[in-house]
């Protein structure tokens, strides 16, 4: 048990060798496997028994972390007097993270799901936000039976109660178009902005249109910030390949093109890397029992707040490091632009490559829409501010024109709410619920359980290309290091004749 607790992934062969060297005992591989499984069960906990203690864990979690929302959904029982209830779902939103997300002032969430391993598999649904430094900020997570419309609607309804979202709320989501998520968002939040991750759209596009030119056209369409620029690139794609143009036209552009995004999310994000990063941190916890899995997630969230605090304490200045970097880059580019005042609140800004836009300082908008999308003044806006300063107008500090989302004070307030630790299982309060939770049903799948992530079609093509390049490189190295035997005649050492060697010699004299 000590070895498994120190190294949960201890191989069976290493356990055999350690017993042989330490105690001089030789055991079979099957016996070592059973011993490791028993030790793992004692350390991590029993899969079945942890469902019975799940309500006690919830009480301890809500007691230590004020404002925490935990909801357990069970399968409806036809017999009301039954002493057991079958577990179906659990939703967790820690109170400190809920307060920190609201303090971040950014109504933007990424949604995704990941497989749960073990004897009772399911899905971990997650909602991840963006902090003031454009980093991930996990908000809520749930363990459900599968990824479908029913489970996503239940997860989003729980999330809506925590964030005070209604059917007319103007919120922004980004997802990979998971099964059941699209109709769930359409039914619950018809006014919400739902973005699609362009990486997954391109993976579907890559199956039919394989050359890199399609990727260039698609990326230019997605990153264009104005509708005329978007339409111009779409015309270029239509002239290049009419089928690819028609295929892309089937997906509404307000789901994946920046030119059709609204500025209420204060983010021009196109990829759902928020949830991908969060899921990658949960790989080692997804095969644990239910309470151990939830504790693995909570401990990661607690550790993550501490890691961000170490970086935050070293920061200086009014803005976050990401906000400072973007603003400095735009300031450098603004030196190449010239602004013309119209006598009111608008400026005409012109720069190289016929780049000309109109800046409205009263509304804090630019016709390029980058200021509206990101919340940070674009190069055209900064050029207008420089012109205002030259005309002896009161401009103030440049950072005051940046949205408060990127202010360092906002970042500090988000992480001022800490995830509290909890006590051991022996000190948990006991639930007075008359029924006992039992695990969900499970039919064991045939074959060895899969541990690795599924490789996409694009990744498979890239791996094959790298293998071809490595093989060609090794062949070239071998040819340069040694002489080739191609076109050389072999002479038999027995009969001294050409065309064969001694092993295949059939001459009588050679025998």
Q: Say how far apart CA 56 and CA 51 lie, in whole Å.
A: 10
> Do 19 and 129 share a structural domain?
no
CA distances from 469 to 379, 435, 461, 463, 475 (A): 42, 62, 12, 10, 10
The closest alpha carbon to 69, from 91, 100, 47, belongs to 91
Contacts of 115 (CB under 8 A, 6+ apart): 121, 122, 123, 124, 286
> Do 163 and 85 share a structural domain?
yes
Percent of residues, the chain, with pLDDT higher than 70: 92
Tokens 């990727």, residue located: 215
Q: Which two tokens stand for residue 23?
A: 């105690």
The closest alpha carbon to 33, from 7, 46, 14, belongs to 14
Q: Show the domain range for 30.
A: 2-44
Q: Say how far apart CA 335 and CA 328 lie, in whole Å.
A: 11
pLDDT over threshold 60, residue 277: yes
Q: Say how far apart CA 391 and CA 491 lie, in whole Å.
A: 94
Tell which of 364, 389, 406 closes a domain: 406
Contacts of 144 (CB under 8 A, 6+ apart): 88, 89, 122, 123, 125, 151, 154, 155
Q: How confident is the model at residue 468 (pLDDT cuts 50, 70, 90)?
A: confident
CB 372 within 8 A of CB 365: yes
343-383 pLDDT tens trace: 999 999 999 988 999 999 999 999 999 999 999 999 999 99
Count H helices and E strands in the chain, helices first: 19, 12
3-state secondary structure 152-171: HHHHHHHHHHHHCCCCCCCC
| Domain assignment present for 177 | yes
Q: How many residues does the chain have?
A: 511
> Do 154 and 111 share a structural domain?
yes
Of 412 and 44, the structure prediction assigns the larger pLDDT to 412
| Angle in degrees, CA 303, 305, 307, rounded to 5 | 70
| Domain assignment present for 295 | yes
> Do 191 and 101 share a structural domain?
yes
Of 76 and 454, the structure prediction assigns the larger pLDDT to 76
160-186 pLDDT tens trace: 999 999 999 999 999 998 888 999 999
Contacts of 45 (CB under 8 A, 6+ apart): 288, 289, 291, 292
| pTM, full prediction | 0.84
Sign of CA dihedral 497, 499, 505, 508: negative
> 173 in helix, strand or coil?
strand
Q: How confident is the model at residue 510 (pLDDT cuts 50, 70, 90)?
A: very low
Q: Say how far apart CA 109 and CA 319 lie, in whole Å.
A: 22
Q: How confident is the model at residue 45 (pLDDT cuts 50, 70, 90)?
A: low
Q: Say how far apart CA 291 and CA 304 lie, in whole Å.
A: 20
293-302 pLDDT tens trace: 999 999 999 9
Q: How confident is the model at residue 20 (pLDDT cuts 50, 70, 90)?
A: confident
| Domain assignment present for 375 | yes
| Domain assignment present for 349 | yes
Q: How many domains does the chain have?
A: 4
> Do 55 and 40 share a structural domain?
no
| Domain assignment present for 131 | yes
Buried b (16+ CB within 10 A) or exposed e, 416-433: ebebbebeeeeebeebee
> Do 293 and 158 share a structural domain?
yes
> Do 304 and 162 share a structural domain?
yes
pLDDT recorded at residue 43: 64
| Domain assignment present for 467 | no
> Do 63 and 33 share a structural domain?
no
> Do 359 and 423 share a structural domain?
no
| Domain assignment present for 161 | yes
197-232 pLDDT tens trace: 999 999 899 888 988 899 999 999 999 999 999 999
Query: For the residues 236-242, what does the mean pLDDT come to?
Result: 96
To the nearest 10°, the Cα dihedral for 232, 238, 243, 249? 20
| Domain assignment present for 474 | no
**H runs (alpha helix) in 65-139:** 95-103
> Do 138 and 81 share a structural domain?
yes
Query: For the residues 55-79, what does the mean pLDDT come to?
Result: 94
> Do 287 and 352 share a structural domain?
no
> Do 65 and 124 share a structural domain?
yes
């Amino acid at each position: 048990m000590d070895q498994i607790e120190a190294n949960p992934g201890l191989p069976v062969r290493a356990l055999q060798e350690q017993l042989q060297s330490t105690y001089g005992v030789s055991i079979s591989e099957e016996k070592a496997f059973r011993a490791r499984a028993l030790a793992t069960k004692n350390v991590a906990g029993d899969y079945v028994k942890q469902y019975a203690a799940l309500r006690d864990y919830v009480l301890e979690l809500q007691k230590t972390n004020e404002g925490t929302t935990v909801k357990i959904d069970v399968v409806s029982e036809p017999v009301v007097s039954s002493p057991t209830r079958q577990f179906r779902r659990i939703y967790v939103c820690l109170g400190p993270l809920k307060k920190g997300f609201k303090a971040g002032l950014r109504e933007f969430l990424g949604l995704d799901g990941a497989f749960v391993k073990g004897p009772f598999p399911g899905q971990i649904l997650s909602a991840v936000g963006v902090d003031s430094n454009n980093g991930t900020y996990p908000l809520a997570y749930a363990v459900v039976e599968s990824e479908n419309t029913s489970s996503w609607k239940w997860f989003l309804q729980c999330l809506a109660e925590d964030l005070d979202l209604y059917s007319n709320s103007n919120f922004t989501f980004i997802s990979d178009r998971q099964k059941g998520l699209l109709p769930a968002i359409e039914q619950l939040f018809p006014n919400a902005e739902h973005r699609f991750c362009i990486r997954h759209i391109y993976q579907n596009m890559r199956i039919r249109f394989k050359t890199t030119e399609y990727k260039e056209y698609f990326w230019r369409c997605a990153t264009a910030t104005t509708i005329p620029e978007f339409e111009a690139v779409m015309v270029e794609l239509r002239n290049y390949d009419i089928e690819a143009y028609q295929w892309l036209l089937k997906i509404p552009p307000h789901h994946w093109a920046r030119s059709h995004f609204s500025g209420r999310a204060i983010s021009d994000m196109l990829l759902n890397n928020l949830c991908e990063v969060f899921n990658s941190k949960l790989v080692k916890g997804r095969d644990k029992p239910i309470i151990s899995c939830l504790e693995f997630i909570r401990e990661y969230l607690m550790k993550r707040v501490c890691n961000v605090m170490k970086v935050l304490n070293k920061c200086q200045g009014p803005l976050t490091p990401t906000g400072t970097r973007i603003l400095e880059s735009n300031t450098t580019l603004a030196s190449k632009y010239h602004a013309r005042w119209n006598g009111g609140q608008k400026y005409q800004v012109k720069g190289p490559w016929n780049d000309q836009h109109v800046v409205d300082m009263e509304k804090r908008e630019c016709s390029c829409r980058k200021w509206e999308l990101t919340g940070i003044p674009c190069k055209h806006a900064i050029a207008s501010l420089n012109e205002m300063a030259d005309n002896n107008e009161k401009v103030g500090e440049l950072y005051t024109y940046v949205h408060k989302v990127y202010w360092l004070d906002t970042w500090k307030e988000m992480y001022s709410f800490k995830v509290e630790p909890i006590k051991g299982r022996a000190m948990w309060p006991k639930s007075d619920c008359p029924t006992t939770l039992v695990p969900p049903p499970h039919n064991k799948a045939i074959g060895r359980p899969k541990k690795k992530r599924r490789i996409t079609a694009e990744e498979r093509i890239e791996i094959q290309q790298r293998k071809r390049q490595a093989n060609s490189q090794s062949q070239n190295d071998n040819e340069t290091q040694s002489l080739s035997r191609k076109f050389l005649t072999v002479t038999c050492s027995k009969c001294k004749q050409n065309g064969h060697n001694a092993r295949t010699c059939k001459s009588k004299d050679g025998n």
